[in-house]
Structure 1
């Protein structure tokens, strides 16, 4: 098992992951909304821009949350000094 990170490095990585997730969420929310009119073609009876905004953005948000949880669970497991002890 690898050595645990210092508390400062642990929280720096945590803040970096949160900032990256927020930035990606911002880009998905406003970037796709801004360019949605150029994506106007019919997809399964509805405009593709509707599907992109209604379904695609939700999938990206789900991936952001799942990725963050997976990375932080691995990092927390690495930080455990003894079984059941939370990170410092």
Structure 2
């Protein structure tokens, strides 16, 4: 039985090697620096604590607000809202990291030509 292959797009052609196999994509090493790893660890910890903490302490949460199913709402709706908040925090932090990296790279590029130019280069 033959399978139907989707036509290749222009950008998909560059992602394959000479034999048509998908090329392995590697993540640049600068994306693995300690700031990113700490951010991921912190956000995953917040997610675990909030997701499992509300379930574990459901009775204690219920005692805080008698007559209203606070534990249910915190577990059902609050966990989803917290997850969305974690996504927003991650996006904002990554945008900040990328801007900071671009700024540092621009400073290095601006400093490199200034350091390499000598007074002899400016003679007419």
Q: TM-score, normalised on structure 1?
A: 0.71
Match of 2:95 among 40, 58, 73: 73
1:36 aligns with 2:58: yes
- Offset from partner CA, 1:47-87 (integer Å, 9 cap, x none): 221111111111111111111110110110111235xxxxx
Residue equivalent to 1:26: 48
Residue equivalent to 2:26: none
- Cα shift at 1:39: 2.5
Residue equivalent to 2:34: 12
Cα RMSD of the aligned pairs, angstroms, is 1.9
Shift >4 Å, 4+ stretches: none
Q: How many angstroms apart in 2 are the aligned matches of 1:42 and 1:25?
A: 27
- Cα shift at 1:19: 0.2
> What runs of 5+ residues in structure 1 fail to find an aligned partner?
1-6, 83-88
| Structure with max Cα Rg | 2
Q: How many residues align?
A: 72
Tell which deviates more after alignment, 30-39 or 14-23: 30-39
